[in-house]
Amino acid sequence: MCRKYKVARALAALSSVLLFGNPTQAANVVINEIYGGRGNAGAAYQNDFVELYNNSANAIDLSTYSLQYTSATGPRTGNSWITLNLSGSIGAALPTENIESGAIIFNLVATAGKLALVSSKSPLKMTNPKSDPSVVDFVGYGISANAI
């Protein structure tokens, strides 16, 4: 694949990303990077991942936080957010271990989806994560992703 094609694909991907943080939350921890290509033929990595970044100089306790995922256009009604409860803390230095589970908690779709970093372990019930004060950071990716 030529370099020009790779750059064009990367720019197209960036043009279809929704990002917002909640202005009522201190944005000390943010979603820095996500990868949802696990299981796809020719995928660069064999596992999905989410990288969190600590913007502050202090360690932040993540024991009340969760990562929550839903499809690009969901949820329309009810609760279809899949929740992964976090633990430990995130400091300025790299952590000594990663969060791993023997079971797949959620399968990040490579082409489109929504991921929220939430300051509680309660599953999101609102259809619009922008209106939930517990949403610390949010990424919607893919052409069909919406913020509702």
Q: How many domains does the chain have?
A: 1
pLDDT at 3: 39
pLDDT digits (tens, 9 = 90+) for 10-26: 434 444 555 555 544 55
Q: What is the pTM of this model?
A: 0.76
Contact predicate 86/61, CB 8 Å: no
Does residue 148 fall inside a structural domain?
no
97 or 145, which is more confident: 145
Does residue 120 fall inside a structural domain?
yes
Calculate the alpha carbon distances from 141 to 55, 72, 85, 89 in Å. 22, 7, 22, 27
Mean pLDDT (the chain, rounded)? 75
Does residue 75 fall inside a structural domain?
yes
Residue ranges making up the domain that contains 99? 21-141
Question: 10 phi and psi, to 5 degrees?
Answer: -65, -40
Does residue 110 fall inside a structural domain?
yes
CATH of the domain at 107: 2.60.40
| pLDDT value at 47 more than 60 | yes
For residue 101, the one-letter residue type is S
